[in-house]
Copies of this chain bind each other. A is one copy, B any other.
Amino acid sequence: MFNVDFEPVGRRGACTSDQSLLDCARQLSVDLVSLCGGIGNCQHCKVQVISGRVTKPTLEEEASLSKSELEQGYRLACQTYALSDVKLHVPPESLTALQRTQVEGLEVDVPPEPPVRGVEAHLSAPTLDTPISDDVNLWASIGLPAGTIDFQVQQELSRKLRDLNWNVNVALRGTEIVAIGAPGTQWLGLAVDIGTTKIAGYLLDMETGKTLASKGLMNPQISYGEDVISRIVASSKSVENAAKLQALLTEALSQLAADLCAEIHSEPTNIVEAVVVGNTAIHHLFLRLPVKPLGMAPYIPTVRSSVDLKAREIGLKIAAGAYIHLLPNIAGYVGADHVAMLLATRIAEAEKTTLAIDIGTNTEICLNHGGHMTSVSCASGPAFEGAHIKFGMRAAPGAIEHVRFSPDRLEIQTIGGEAPVGICGSGLLDVVAQLRLHHVLDRNGRMGTHSLVRSNNGATEFVLVEREGQDPITISQKDVRELQLAKAAIRLGIQALVIAEGLTEQDIDEVIIAGAFGTFIDVQSAITIGMLPSLPLERFKQVGNAAGTGARLALISLSQRAKAQQIAEKDGYIELAAVPNFNRKFAEATYL
Protein backbone atom coordinates (compact mmCIF):
# COMPACT_ATOMS: atom_id res chain seq x y z
CA MET A 1 0.00 0.00 0.00
CA PHE A 2 1.36 3.39 -1.00
CA ASN A 3 0.06 6.87 -0.34
CA VAL A 4 -0.74 8.74 -3.54
CA ASP A 5 -1.21 12.50 -3.43
CA PHE A 6 -2.92 14.25 -6.35
CA GLU A 7 -2.18 18.01 -6.44
CA PRO A 8 -3.42 20.72 -6.79
CA VAL A 9 -6.75 18.88 -6.57
CA GLY A 10 -5.75 17.98 -3.03
CA ARG A 11 -6.93 14.33 -2.97
CA ARG A 12 -4.79 11.84 -1.04
CA GLY A 13 -5.27 8.14 -0.25
CA ALA A 14 -3.79 4.67 -0.10
CA CYS A 15 -3.48 2.56 -3.25
CA THR A 16 -2.09 -0.89 -3.85
CA SER A 17 0.88 -1.58 -6.10
CA ASP A 18 -1.31 -3.40 -8.64
CA GLN A 19 -3.46 -0.33 -9.25
CA SER A 20 -2.33 2.01 -12.03
CA LEU A 21 -2.22 5.70 -11.16
CA LEU A 22 -5.41 6.02 -13.24
CA ASP A 23 -7.08 3.39 -11.05
CA CYS A 24 -5.85 5.30 -7.97
CA ALA A 25 -7.29 8.50 -9.39
CA ARG A 26 -10.66 6.87 -9.99
CA GLN A 27 -10.68 5.41 -6.49
CA LEU A 28 -9.98 8.89 -5.04
CA SER A 29 -12.54 10.56 -7.35
CA VAL A 30 -9.94 12.48 -9.30
CA ASP A 31 -11.63 12.71 -12.71
CA LEU A 32 -8.78 12.13 -15.15
CA VAL A 33 -9.71 12.22 -18.83
CA SER A 34 -9.43 8.79 -20.41
CA LEU A 35 -10.66 8.36 -23.93
CA CYS A 36 -9.00 5.10 -24.79
CA GLY A 37 -10.11 3.39 -21.64
CA GLY A 38 -6.60 2.93 -20.26
CA ILE A 39 -4.74 1.28 -23.11
CA GLY A 40 -2.15 4.06 -23.38
CA ASN A 41 -2.86 5.59 -26.73
CA CYS A 42 -5.14 8.60 -26.11
CA GLN A 43 -2.53 10.58 -24.13
CA HIS A 44 -5.18 12.38 -22.07
CA CYS A 45 -4.43 11.00 -18.60
CA LYS A 46 -1.05 12.74 -18.40
CA VAL A 47 0.24 13.43 -14.86
CA GLN A 48 3.58 14.71 -13.57
CA VAL A 49 5.46 12.80 -10.86
CA ILE A 50 6.73 15.35 -8.34
CA SER A 51 8.23 12.95 -5.80
CA GLY A 52 8.39 9.22 -5.13
CA ARG A 53 9.25 6.27 -7.35
CA VAL A 54 7.12 4.78 -10.12
CA THR A 55 7.46 2.10 -12.81
CA LYS A 56 9.51 2.83 -15.93
CA PRO A 57 7.83 4.33 -19.04
CA THR A 58 6.09 1.81 -21.29
CA LEU A 59 6.49 1.70 -25.06
CA GLU A 60 3.11 3.43 -25.34
CA GLU A 61 4.36 6.29 -23.19
CA GLU A 62 7.59 6.62 -25.13
CA ALA A 63 5.47 6.91 -28.27
CA SER A 64 3.06 9.49 -26.86
CA LEU A 65 5.24 11.68 -24.66
CA SER A 66 8.13 13.84 -25.84
CA LYS A 67 11.62 13.27 -24.44
CA SER A 68 11.42 16.59 -22.64
CA GLU A 69 8.09 15.63 -21.07
CA LEU A 70 9.49 12.32 -19.86
CA GLU A 71 12.49 14.14 -18.39
CA GLN A 72 10.13 16.44 -16.49
CA GLY A 73 8.37 13.40 -15.01
CA TYR A 74 5.28 13.46 -17.20
CA ARG A 75 3.64 10.03 -17.44
CA LEU A 76 0.39 8.50 -18.60
CA ALA A 77 -1.52 7.55 -15.47
CA CYS A 78 -2.96 4.41 -17.10
CA GLN A 79 0.54 3.07 -17.80
CA THR A 80 2.22 3.90 -14.51
CA TYR A 81 2.29 2.17 -11.10
CA ALA A 82 3.59 3.52 -7.80
CA LEU A 83 6.70 1.96 -6.27
CA SER A 84 6.65 4.17 -3.15
CA ASP A 85 4.51 6.96 -1.73
CA VAL A 86 4.15 9.44 -4.60
CA LYS A 87 3.07 12.99 -5.12
CA LEU A 88 1.58 13.84 -8.48
CA HIS A 89 0.81 17.11 -10.22
CA VAL A 90 -2.29 16.84 -12.39
CA PRO A 91 -2.14 19.38 -15.24
CA PRO A 92 -5.53 21.02 -15.75
CA GLU A 93 -5.97 19.58 -19.24
CA SER A 94 -5.90 16.07 -17.79
CA LEU A 95 -8.94 16.71 -15.60
CA THR A 96 -12.49 16.46 -16.84
CA ALA A 97 -14.27 19.80 -16.89
CA LEU A 98 -15.93 19.31 -13.53
CA GLN A 99 -12.63 19.50 -11.74
CA ARG A 100 -10.90 21.74 -14.21
CA THR A 101 -12.40 24.87 -12.73
CA GLN A 102 -11.42 28.05 -14.45
CA VAL A 103 -9.11 28.95 -11.57
CA GLU A 104 -6.30 26.56 -12.52
CA GLY A 105 -3.33 28.35 -13.98
CA LEU A 106 0.34 29.12 -13.82
CA GLU A 107 1.97 29.35 -10.44
CA VAL A 108 2.55 32.71 -8.81
CA ASP A 109 6.30 32.67 -8.37
CA VAL A 110 7.47 36.25 -7.88
CA PRO A 111 8.76 37.62 -4.58
CA PRO A 112 5.94 39.63 -2.99
CA GLU A 113 6.30 43.40 -3.09
CA PRO A 114 2.82 44.01 -1.75
CA PRO A 115 1.06 47.34 -2.30
CA VAL A 116 -0.41 46.95 1.20
CA ARG A 117 1.63 45.85 4.19
CA GLY A 118 0.74 45.24 7.81
CA VAL A 119 2.51 47.18 10.54
CA GLU A 120 2.14 46.52 14.26
CA ALA A 121 1.42 49.63 16.34
CA HIS A 122 1.53 49.92 20.11
CA LEU A 123 0.07 53.26 21.24
CA SER A 124 0.13 54.96 24.62
CA ALA A 125 -3.30 55.86 25.96
CA PRO A 126 -3.73 59.65 25.99
CA THR A 127 -4.03 61.51 29.28
CA LEU A 128 -4.95 65.04 30.35
CA ASP A 129 -1.22 65.81 30.39
CA THR A 130 -0.67 64.37 26.92
CA PRO A 131 -4.06 64.74 25.25
CA ILE A 132 -2.70 63.50 21.93
CA SER A 133 -5.26 62.97 19.17
CA ASP A 134 -5.82 59.44 17.91
CA ASP A 135 -4.39 60.07 14.44
CA VAL A 136 -1.20 61.74 15.67
CA ASN A 137 -0.85 59.03 18.32
CA LEU A 138 -1.16 56.31 15.69
CA TRP A 139 1.42 57.72 13.30
CA ALA A 140 3.85 58.37 16.13
CA SER A 141 3.53 54.75 17.28
CA ILE A 142 4.27 53.46 13.77
CA GLY A 143 7.28 55.74 13.60
CA LEU A 144 6.37 57.13 10.20
CA PRO A 145 5.67 60.70 9.13
CA ALA A 146 1.93 61.28 9.17
CA GLY A 147 0.28 60.11 5.96
CA THR A 148 -3.42 59.93 5.30
CA ILE A 149 -6.00 57.71 6.94
CA ASP A 150 -8.84 56.50 4.78
CA PHE A 151 -11.99 58.43 5.65
CA GLN A 152 -14.00 55.41 6.74
CA VAL A 153 -11.04 54.08 8.73
CA GLN A 154 -10.99 57.44 10.51
CA GLN A 155 -14.62 56.91 11.38
CA GLU A 156 -13.76 53.64 13.14
CA LEU A 157 -10.36 54.67 14.44
CA SER A 158 -11.23 55.87 17.91
CA ARG A 159 -13.45 52.90 18.74
CA LYS A 160 -10.96 50.33 17.42
CA LEU A 161 -8.02 51.80 19.31
CA ARG A 162 -9.96 51.66 22.55
CA ASP A 163 -11.54 48.24 21.90
CA LEU A 164 -8.12 46.78 21.09
CA ASN A 165 -6.55 48.47 24.10
CA TRP A 166 -4.23 50.63 21.98
CA ASN A 167 -2.53 47.69 20.28
CA VAL A 168 -3.38 47.28 16.60
CA ASN A 169 -2.12 46.17 13.24
CA VAL A 170 -2.33 48.78 10.54
CA ALA A 171 -2.70 48.00 6.82
CA LEU A 172 -0.59 50.59 5.06
CA ARG A 173 -0.89 51.29 1.33
CA GLY A 174 1.92 53.66 0.46
CA THR A 175 1.32 56.43 2.97
CA GLU A 176 -2.38 55.71 3.46
CA ILE A 177 -3.87 53.58 6.21
CA VAL A 178 -6.60 51.49 4.57
CA ALA A 179 -7.54 49.20 7.47
CA ILE A 180 -6.94 48.63 11.16
CA GLY A 181 -7.15 45.26 12.84
CA ALA A 182 -6.07 43.35 15.90
CA PRO A 183 -2.35 42.67 16.34
CA GLY A 184 -1.21 39.88 14.03
CA THR A 185 -4.07 40.28 11.55
CA GLN A 186 -3.46 38.35 8.34
CA TRP A 187 -4.25 40.88 5.62
CA LEU A 188 -5.69 39.38 2.46
CA GLY A 189 -5.83 40.24 -1.20
CA LEU A 190 -8.46 39.30 -3.78
CA ALA A 191 -7.59 38.66 -7.42
CA VAL A 192 -10.44 38.25 -9.86
CA ASP A 193 -10.54 37.42 -13.54
CA ILE A 194 -13.98 38.30 -14.86
CA GLY A 195 -14.61 36.47 -18.09
CA THR A 196 -17.58 37.01 -20.33
CA THR A 197 -18.94 33.65 -19.17
CA LYS A 198 -17.02 32.73 -16.03
CA ILE A 199 -15.38 34.37 -13.08
CA ALA A 200 -12.27 33.06 -11.33
CA GLY A 201 -11.43 34.37 -7.87
CA TYR A 202 -8.33 33.91 -5.73
CA LEU A 203 -7.62 34.83 -2.13
CA LEU A 204 -4.00 35.57 -1.32
CA ASP A 205 -1.95 36.33 1.77
CA MET A 206 -0.69 39.86 1.12
CA GLU A 207 2.53 39.29 3.01
CA THR A 208 3.66 35.94 1.62
CA GLY A 209 1.89 36.19 -1.73
CA LYS A 210 0.57 32.63 -1.29
CA THR A 211 -2.79 31.65 -2.77
CA LEU A 212 -4.96 30.55 0.15
CA ALA A 213 -8.18 29.69 -1.66
CA SER A 214 -9.71 29.91 -5.12
CA LYS A 215 -13.15 29.57 -6.58
CA GLY A 216 -14.88 29.73 -9.93
CA LEU A 217 -18.40 30.90 -10.65
CA MET A 218 -20.55 31.96 -13.57
CA ASN A 219 -20.68 35.60 -14.65
CA PRO A 220 -24.24 36.55 -13.63
CA GLN A 221 -24.39 39.16 -16.41
CA ILE A 222 -25.17 36.24 -18.70
CA SER A 223 -28.84 36.98 -18.06
CA TYR A 224 -28.25 40.14 -20.14
CA GLY A 225 -26.67 38.29 -23.06
CA GLU A 226 -24.10 35.61 -23.74
CA ASP A 227 -21.61 37.85 -25.49
CA VAL A 228 -20.35 41.29 -24.60
CA ILE A 229 -22.06 42.92 -27.57
CA SER A 230 -25.52 42.05 -26.22
CA ARG A 231 -24.49 43.42 -22.82
CA ILE A 232 -23.14 46.60 -24.38
CA VAL A 233 -26.48 47.03 -26.12
CA ALA A 234 -28.40 46.31 -22.89
CA SER A 235 -26.25 48.66 -20.82
CA SER A 236 -26.52 51.47 -23.37
CA LYS A 237 -30.31 51.14 -23.41
CA SER A 238 -30.98 52.53 -19.94
CA VAL A 239 -29.31 53.81 -16.80
CA GLU A 240 -31.13 51.10 -14.85
CA ASN A 241 -29.63 48.38 -17.02
CA ALA A 242 -26.15 49.82 -16.63
CA ALA A 243 -26.62 49.93 -12.87
CA LYS A 244 -27.98 46.39 -12.82
CA LEU A 245 -25.16 45.00 -14.95
CA GLN A 246 -22.67 46.53 -12.54
CA ALA A 247 -24.56 45.43 -9.44
CA LEU A 248 -24.71 41.84 -10.68
CA LEU A 249 -20.93 41.79 -10.83
CA THR A 250 -20.24 43.57 -7.55
CA GLU A 251 -22.73 41.39 -5.70
CA ALA A 252 -21.18 38.26 -7.20
CA LEU A 253 -17.70 39.48 -6.24
CA SER A 254 -18.80 40.39 -2.71
CA GLN A 255 -20.21 36.88 -2.34
CA LEU A 256 -17.04 35.41 -3.84
CA ALA A 257 -14.95 37.37 -1.31
CA ALA A 258 -17.14 36.12 1.53
CA ASP A 259 -17.00 32.50 0.31
CA LEU A 260 -13.23 32.53 -0.13
CA CYS A 261 -12.74 34.08 3.31
CA ALA A 262 -15.08 31.54 4.90
CA GLU A 263 -12.88 28.77 3.49
CA ILE A 264 -9.93 30.02 5.54
CA HIS A 265 -12.01 31.20 8.51
CA SER A 266 -11.33 34.87 7.86
CA GLU A 267 -13.52 37.87 7.04
CA PRO A 268 -13.88 39.99 3.89
CA THR A 269 -13.01 43.03 6.03
CA ASN A 270 -9.47 41.62 6.09
CA ILE A 271 -9.23 41.94 2.30
CA VAL A 272 -7.25 45.15 1.91
CA GLU A 273 -6.62 45.11 -1.84
CA ALA A 274 -8.24 43.67 -4.92
CA VAL A 275 -7.06 43.33 -8.49
CA VAL A 276 -9.68 42.84 -11.17
CA VAL A 277 -9.07 41.96 -14.80
CA GLY A 278 -11.51 41.44 -17.61
CA ASN A 279 -11.91 42.35 -21.25
CA THR A 280 -12.47 46.03 -21.99
CA ALA A 281 -16.25 45.75 -22.12
CA ILE A 282 -16.41 43.82 -18.84
CA HIS A 283 -13.93 46.30 -17.32
CA HIS A 284 -16.19 49.19 -18.37
CA LEU A 285 -19.40 47.48 -17.26
CA PHE A 286 -17.78 46.73 -13.89
CA LEU A 287 -16.86 50.40 -13.41
CA ARG A 288 -20.11 51.55 -15.00
CA LEU A 289 -18.18 53.46 -17.61
CA PRO A 290 -20.19 54.12 -20.75
CA VAL A 291 -19.84 51.20 -23.17
CA LYS A 292 -21.74 52.61 -26.12
CA PRO A 293 -18.54 53.84 -27.87
CA LEU A 294 -17.16 50.29 -27.49
CA GLY A 295 -20.05 48.95 -29.53
CA MET A 296 -19.47 51.00 -32.66
CA ALA A 297 -16.47 51.85 -34.83
CA PRO A 298 -13.85 53.03 -33.99
CA TYR A 299 -14.48 51.03 -30.77
CA ILE A 300 -13.07 53.56 -28.29
CA PRO A 301 -12.59 52.69 -24.61
CA THR A 302 -13.19 55.48 -22.10
CA VAL A 303 -10.23 54.38 -20.04
CA ARG A 304 -7.04 52.71 -21.11
CA SER A 305 -4.83 53.46 -18.09
CA SER A 306 -4.86 51.36 -14.97
CA VAL A 307 -7.47 52.47 -12.44
CA ASP A 308 -7.27 52.56 -8.65
CA LEU A 309 -10.53 53.19 -6.87
CA LYS A 310 -11.95 52.57 -3.43
CA ALA A 311 -13.85 49.29 -3.42
CA ARG A 312 -16.75 50.99 -1.64
CA GLU A 313 -17.22 53.35 -4.60
CA ILE A 314 -18.79 50.48 -6.50
CA GLY A 315 -20.17 48.61 -3.52
CA LEU A 316 -17.66 45.77 -3.28
CA LYS A 317 -17.78 44.55 0.29
CA ILE A 318 -14.22 44.15 1.48
CA ALA A 319 -12.22 46.32 3.94
CA ALA A 320 -13.72 49.81 4.14
CA GLY A 321 -10.57 51.56 2.91
CA ALA A 322 -9.44 48.93 0.40
CA TYR A 323 -8.69 49.80 -3.19
CA ILE A 324 -9.48 47.90 -6.36
CA HIS A 325 -6.71 48.04 -8.93
CA LEU A 326 -7.70 47.39 -12.53
CA LEU A 327 -4.90 46.61 -14.95
CA PRO A 328 -4.74 48.80 -18.07
CA ASN A 329 -6.62 48.01 -21.25
CA ILE A 330 -4.99 48.05 -24.66
CA ALA A 331 -7.91 48.69 -27.00
CA GLY A 332 -11.67 48.35 -27.27
CA TYR A 333 -11.40 44.59 -27.70
CA VAL A 334 -8.03 43.93 -26.09
CA GLY A 335 -8.53 44.39 -22.39
CA ALA A 336 -6.95 44.13 -18.97
CA ASP A 337 -7.37 40.33 -18.99
CA HIS A 338 -5.15 40.17 -22.05
CA VAL A 339 -2.56 42.33 -20.28
CA ALA A 340 -2.77 39.98 -17.29
CA MET A 341 -2.32 36.97 -19.54
CA LEU A 342 0.72 38.56 -21.19
CA LEU A 343 2.12 39.35 -17.75
CA ALA A 344 1.66 35.81 -16.47
CA THR A 345 3.06 34.13 -19.57
CA ARG A 346 6.06 36.51 -19.56
CA ILE A 347 5.75 36.82 -23.31
CA ALA A 348 7.25 40.31 -23.09
CA GLU A 349 10.49 38.70 -21.89
CA ALA A 350 10.43 35.87 -24.45
CA GLU A 351 13.52 35.72 -26.65
CA LYS A 352 11.97 33.22 -29.02
CA THR A 353 9.18 34.22 -31.41
CA THR A 354 6.20 33.51 -29.22
CA LEU A 355 2.48 33.54 -29.79
CA ALA A 356 0.10 33.76 -26.83
CA ILE A 357 -3.55 33.07 -27.41
CA ASP A 358 -6.52 33.23 -25.08
CA ILE A 359 -9.42 31.47 -26.78
CA GLY A 360 -12.92 32.44 -25.80
CA THR A 361 -16.07 34.06 -27.10
CA ASN A 362 -13.62 36.78 -27.93
CA THR A 363 -10.11 35.56 -28.68
CA GLU A 364 -7.09 37.75 -28.04
CA ILE A 365 -3.76 36.88 -29.56
CA CYS A 366 -0.35 38.44 -29.08
CA LEU A 367 2.87 37.84 -31.01
CA ASN A 368 6.27 38.78 -29.65
CA HIS A 369 8.98 38.75 -32.28
CA GLY A 370 12.34 40.15 -31.28
CA GLY A 371 10.82 42.22 -28.48
CA HIS A 372 8.15 43.71 -30.72
CA MET A 373 4.72 42.86 -29.34
CA THR A 374 1.49 43.14 -31.28
CA SER A 375 -1.99 41.99 -30.35
CA VAL A 376 -5.17 41.34 -32.23
CA SER A 377 -8.69 40.57 -31.19
CA CYS A 378 -10.96 38.14 -33.04
CA ALA A 379 -14.70 37.76 -32.61
CA SER A 380 -14.62 33.97 -32.44
CA GLY A 381 -18.20 33.86 -31.18
CA PRO A 382 -19.92 31.71 -28.62
CA ALA A 383 -19.74 28.36 -30.49
CA PHE A 384 -17.01 27.20 -28.08
CA GLU A 385 -19.44 27.83 -25.22
CA GLY A 386 -21.98 25.62 -27.00
CA ALA A 387 -24.13 28.47 -28.29
CA HIS A 388 -25.65 28.23 -31.81
CA ILE A 389 -24.77 24.52 -31.89
CA LYS A 390 -27.75 22.15 -32.13
CA PHE A 391 -26.68 19.97 -29.19
CA GLY A 392 -24.22 22.52 -27.87
CA MET A 393 -23.81 23.03 -24.14
CA ARG A 394 -21.30 24.45 -21.69
CA ALA A 395 -18.77 22.23 -20.00
CA ALA A 396 -21.08 20.54 -17.50
CA PRO A 397 -21.78 16.96 -16.45
CA GLY A 398 -22.85 14.86 -19.43
CA ALA A 399 -21.25 17.13 -22.02
CA ILE A 400 -19.21 15.26 -24.62
CA GLU A 401 -15.77 16.82 -24.20
CA HIS A 402 -13.59 14.45 -26.21
CA VAL A 403 -14.29 12.23 -29.20
CA ARG A 404 -12.15 9.86 -31.21
CA PHE A 405 -12.86 7.61 -34.15
CA SER A 406 -11.02 4.40 -33.54
CA PRO A 407 -11.00 2.11 -36.58
CA ASP A 408 -14.04 0.22 -35.39
CA ARG A 409 -15.92 2.58 -33.06
CA LEU A 410 -16.61 6.10 -31.85
CA GLU A 411 -14.89 6.75 -28.51
CA ILE A 412 -16.64 9.34 -26.40
CA GLN A 413 -15.64 10.94 -23.12
CA THR A 414 -18.26 12.89 -21.22
CA ILE A 415 -17.72 15.22 -18.32
CA GLY A 416 -18.09 13.28 -15.11
CA GLY A 417 -18.42 10.08 -17.13
CA GLU A 418 -22.18 10.53 -17.20
CA ALA A 419 -24.61 9.61 -19.95
CA PRO A 420 -24.10 12.09 -22.81
CA VAL A 421 -26.60 14.96 -23.02
CA GLY A 422 -24.86 17.33 -25.42
CA ILE A 423 -21.50 18.51 -26.70
CA CYS A 424 -19.22 21.23 -25.39
CA GLY A 425 -16.58 23.24 -27.23
CA SER A 426 -13.65 20.86 -26.93
CA GLY A 427 -15.90 17.98 -28.01
CA LEU A 428 -17.07 19.91 -31.06
CA LEU A 429 -13.45 20.57 -32.01
CA ASP A 430 -12.64 16.88 -31.71
CA VAL A 431 -15.67 15.77 -33.69
CA VAL A 432 -14.99 18.07 -36.61
CA ALA A 433 -11.30 17.09 -36.61
CA GLN A 434 -12.15 13.38 -36.55
CA LEU A 435 -14.76 13.78 -39.28
CA ARG A 436 -12.23 15.61 -41.42
CA LEU A 437 -9.52 13.00 -40.76
CA HIS A 438 -11.92 10.28 -41.77
CA HIS A 439 -13.04 12.23 -44.83
CA VAL A 440 -16.63 12.56 -43.67
CA LEU A 441 -16.01 16.31 -44.14
CA ASP A 442 -14.18 17.68 -47.14
CA ARG A 443 -11.85 20.69 -47.14
CA ASN A 444 -14.77 23.09 -47.49
CA GLY A 445 -16.52 21.49 -44.52
CA ARG A 446 -19.16 19.80 -46.60
CA MET A 447 -20.49 16.62 -45.02
CA GLY A 448 -20.18 13.60 -47.33
CA THR A 449 -21.61 10.11 -47.09
CA HIS A 450 -21.02 7.80 -44.16
CA SER A 451 -23.04 5.21 -42.33
CA LEU A 452 -23.62 7.71 -39.51
CA VAL A 453 -24.54 10.66 -41.76
CA ARG A 454 -28.24 11.07 -42.27
CA SER A 455 -30.68 13.59 -43.57
CA ASN A 456 -33.07 14.97 -41.00
CA ASN A 457 -35.85 17.17 -42.43
CA GLY A 458 -33.49 18.17 -45.24
CA ALA A 459 -30.58 18.92 -42.90
CA THR A 460 -27.49 16.77 -43.13
CA GLU A 461 -26.15 15.57 -39.78
CA PHE A 462 -23.73 13.11 -38.26
CA VAL A 463 -25.07 10.88 -35.51
CA LEU A 464 -22.76 10.88 -32.52
CA VAL A 465 -24.85 9.05 -29.94
CA GLU A 466 -28.01 7.05 -30.39
CA ARG A 467 -30.27 7.32 -27.35
CA GLU A 468 -33.22 5.14 -26.48
CA GLY A 469 -36.53 6.97 -26.64
CA GLN A 470 -34.76 10.24 -27.47
CA ASP A 471 -33.41 11.97 -30.55
CA PRO A 472 -29.81 11.01 -31.16
CA ILE A 473 -27.09 13.58 -30.36
CA THR A 474 -25.87 14.83 -33.71
CA ILE A 475 -23.52 17.30 -35.33
CA SER A 476 -25.22 19.10 -38.18
CA GLN A 477 -23.78 20.65 -41.30
CA LYS A 478 -24.74 24.02 -39.79
CA ASP A 479 -22.81 23.22 -36.59
CA VAL A 480 -19.72 22.55 -38.68
CA ARG A 481 -20.19 25.90 -40.43
CA GLU A 482 -20.40 27.67 -37.06
CA LEU A 483 -17.15 26.13 -35.96
CA GLN A 484 -15.54 27.03 -39.28
CA LEU A 485 -16.43 30.68 -38.74
CA ALA A 486 -15.06 30.63 -35.21
CA LYS A 487 -11.81 28.94 -36.09
CA ALA A 488 -11.34 31.08 -39.20
CA ALA A 489 -11.44 34.25 -37.08
CA ILE A 490 -8.71 32.88 -34.82
CA ARG A 491 -6.51 31.63 -37.63
CA LEU A 492 -6.88 34.92 -39.47
CA GLY A 493 -5.80 36.77 -36.33
CA ILE A 494 -2.68 34.61 -36.06
CA GLN A 495 -1.90 35.15 -39.74
CA ALA A 496 -2.39 38.91 -39.48
CA LEU A 497 0.16 39.11 -36.66
CA VAL A 498 2.66 36.88 -38.43
CA ILE A 499 2.35 38.77 -41.71
CA ALA A 500 2.70 42.13 -39.96
CA GLU A 501 6.10 40.96 -38.71
CA GLY A 502 7.13 39.64 -42.13
CA LEU A 503 7.14 36.06 -40.86
CA THR A 504 5.41 32.81 -41.72
CA GLU A 505 3.55 30.68 -39.20
CA GLN A 506 6.41 28.18 -39.24
CA ASP A 507 8.62 30.88 -37.66
CA ILE A 508 6.62 30.71 -34.44
CA ASP A 509 8.83 29.01 -31.86
CA GLU A 510 6.27 28.71 -29.12
CA VAL A 511 2.48 28.91 -28.85
CA ILE A 512 1.09 29.57 -25.38
CA ILE A 513 -2.57 28.64 -25.12
CA ALA A 514 -4.23 30.34 -22.17
CA GLY A 515 -7.71 30.39 -20.76
CA ALA A 516 -9.89 27.63 -19.42
CA PHE A 517 -11.25 26.64 -22.81
CA GLY A 518 -7.82 26.61 -24.42
CA THR A 519 -6.73 24.24 -21.70
CA PHE A 520 -9.55 21.77 -22.46
CA ILE A 521 -8.96 21.48 -26.19
CA ASP A 522 -7.02 18.81 -27.96
CA VAL A 523 -4.27 20.75 -29.71
CA GLN A 524 -3.96 18.13 -32.43
CA SER A 525 -7.66 18.51 -33.23
CA ALA A 526 -7.26 22.29 -33.35
CA ILE A 527 -4.41 21.86 -35.83
CA THR A 528 -6.40 19.32 -37.86
CA ILE A 529 -9.28 21.73 -38.43
CA GLY A 530 -6.88 24.59 -39.13
CA MET A 531 -7.69 26.69 -36.10
CA LEU A 532 -4.06 26.58 -35.01
CA PRO A 533 -1.08 26.50 -37.38
CA SER A 534 0.43 23.12 -38.12
CA LEU A 535 3.49 23.18 -35.87
CA PRO A 536 5.16 20.36 -33.95
CA LEU A 537 3.09 19.60 -30.85
CA GLU A 538 5.96 20.36 -28.48
CA ARG A 539 5.80 24.01 -29.49
CA PHE A 540 2.37 24.30 -27.83
CA LYS A 541 1.95 24.95 -24.12
CA GLN A 542 -1.45 24.96 -22.42
CA VAL A 543 -1.23 27.08 -19.30
CA GLY A 544 -4.78 27.35 -17.93
CA ASN A 545 -6.15 30.62 -16.65
CA ALA A 546 -3.16 32.87 -17.19
CA ALA A 547 -5.27 36.03 -16.80
CA GLY A 548 -6.09 34.92 -13.26
CA THR A 549 -2.41 34.32 -12.61
CA GLY A 550 -1.60 37.77 -13.99
CA ALA A 551 -4.18 39.30 -11.68
CA ARG A 552 -2.55 37.51 -8.74
CA LEU A 553 0.90 38.71 -9.76
CA ALA A 554 -0.35 42.30 -9.93
CA LEU A 555 -2.09 41.84 -6.59
CA ILE A 556 1.03 41.00 -4.65
CA SER A 557 3.76 42.85 -6.50
CA LEU A 558 4.09 46.52 -7.34
CA SER A 559 6.80 45.81 -9.88
CA GLN A 560 4.48 43.35 -11.63
CA ARG A 561 1.96 46.22 -11.85
CA ALA A 562 4.64 48.38 -13.38
CA LYS A 563 5.41 45.57 -15.84
CA ALA A 564 1.73 45.32 -16.75
CA GLN A 565 1.71 49.05 -17.46
CA GLN A 566 4.78 48.68 -19.68
CA ILE A 567 3.19 45.76 -21.52
CA ALA A 568 0.03 47.78 -22.16
CA GLU A 569 2.05 50.71 -23.45
CA LYS A 570 4.42 48.60 -25.50
CA ASP A 571 1.88 46.26 -27.04
CA GLY A 572 0.87 47.28 -30.53
CA TYR A 573 -2.60 46.59 -31.83
CA ILE A 574 -3.91 45.48 -35.19
CA GLU A 575 -7.55 46.04 -36.06
CA LEU A 576 -8.49 42.82 -37.82
CA ALA A 577 -11.31 44.46 -39.79
CA ALA A 578 -8.73 46.83 -41.26
CA VAL A 579 -6.58 43.98 -42.70
CA PRO A 580 -6.49 44.25 -46.53
CA ASN A 581 -8.63 41.69 -48.41
CA PHE A 582 -10.20 40.68 -45.15
CA ASN A 583 -13.19 38.95 -46.71
CA ARG A 584 -11.18 36.81 -49.14
CA LYS A 585 -8.71 35.87 -46.43
CA PHE A 586 -11.50 35.03 -44.06
CA ALA A 587 -13.12 32.72 -46.62
CA GLU A 588 -9.79 30.94 -47.11
CA ALA A 589 -9.34 30.56 -43.37
CA THR A 590 -12.59 28.63 -43.09
CA TYR A 591 -11.05 25.67 -44.96
CA LEU A 592 -10.61 22.59 -42.84
- B-binding residues in A (CB < 8 A): 126-129, 131-136, 146, 148-149, 151, 154-155, 157-159, 162, 287-290, 292-293, 297-305, 307-309, 313, 329, 331-332, 573, 575, 577-578
Contacts and interface: CB of A to CB of B under 8 A. Distances in A.
B303 A135 contact: yes
Contact of A300 (B131, B308, B309): B131
A301 B154 contact: no
Contact of A309 (B151, B287, B290): B151
B308 A136 contact: no
Contacts of A289: 154-155, 157-158
7 contacts: A131-B300, A133-B300, A133-B302, A133-B331, A155-B289, A158-B292, A158-B300
A134 B309 contact: no
Contact of A303 (B149, B287, B292, B307): B149
A131 B308 contact: no
A375 to B, nearest CB: 13
A134 B289 CA distance: 11
A553 to B, nearest CB: 22
Contacts of A329: 133
Given A133-B329, A157-B289, 9 more contacts: A128-B575, A128-B577, A134-B302, A135-B303, A135-B304, A151-B307, A151-B313, A158-B300, A158-B302
A297 B130 CA distance: 11
A331 B131 contact: yes
B305 A146 contact: yes
A300 B155 contact: no
A129 to B, nearest CB: 8
Contacts of A135: 302-305
Contacts of A309: 151
B302 A127 contact: no
A567 to B, nearest CB: 15
A155 B299 contact: no
Contacts of A301: 133-134
A290 B155 contact: yes
Given A126-B298, A298-B126, A304-B136, A293 B158 contact: yes
A585 to B, nearest CB: 18
Given A151-B287, A289-B154, A133 B303 contact: yes
Most chain B Cβ neighbours within 10 Å, of A126, A154, A299, A575: A154
Nearest to A578: B128
A573 B136 CA distance: 15
List 8 A-B pairs, minimum CB-CB distance, nearest first: A133-B304, A128-B298, A158-B302, A133-B301, A131-B298, A151-B309, A158-B290, A134-B302
A126 B300 contact: yes
A195 B561 CA distance: 46
A58 B70 CA distance: 114
Most chain B Cβ neighbours within 10 Å, of A134, A308, A577: A134
Nearest to A332: B131
A157 B302 contact: yes
Most chain B Cβ neighbours within 10 Å, of A157, A302, A313: A302
Contacts of A293: 134, 158, 162
A307 B303 CA distance: 29
A324 B295 CA distance: 37
Contacts of A134: 293, 300-303
Contact of A131 (B155, B299, B303): B299
A162 B135 CA distance: 44
A573 B289 CA distance: 49
A155 B303 CA distance: 9
A159 B290 contact: yes
A258 B313 CA distance: 24
Contacts of A332: 131
A307 B288 CA distance: 28
A288 B156 CA distance: 10
B308 A148 contact: yes
A426 B468 CA distance: 101
A488 to B, nearest CB: 22
Contacts of A155: 287-290
Contacts of A297: 128
Nearest to A157: B302
A293 B577 CA distance: 65
A325 to B, nearest CB: 12
A307 B151 CA distance: 8
Nearest to A128: B298
Given A154-B289, A287-B155, A575 B131 contact: yes
Contacts of A313: 151
A289 B134 CA distance: 11
B331 A154 contact: no
Contacts of A126: 298, 300
B578 A303 contact: no
A133 B568 CA distance: 13
A332 B298 CA distance: 58
Nearest to A308: B148
A96 B516 CA distance: 78
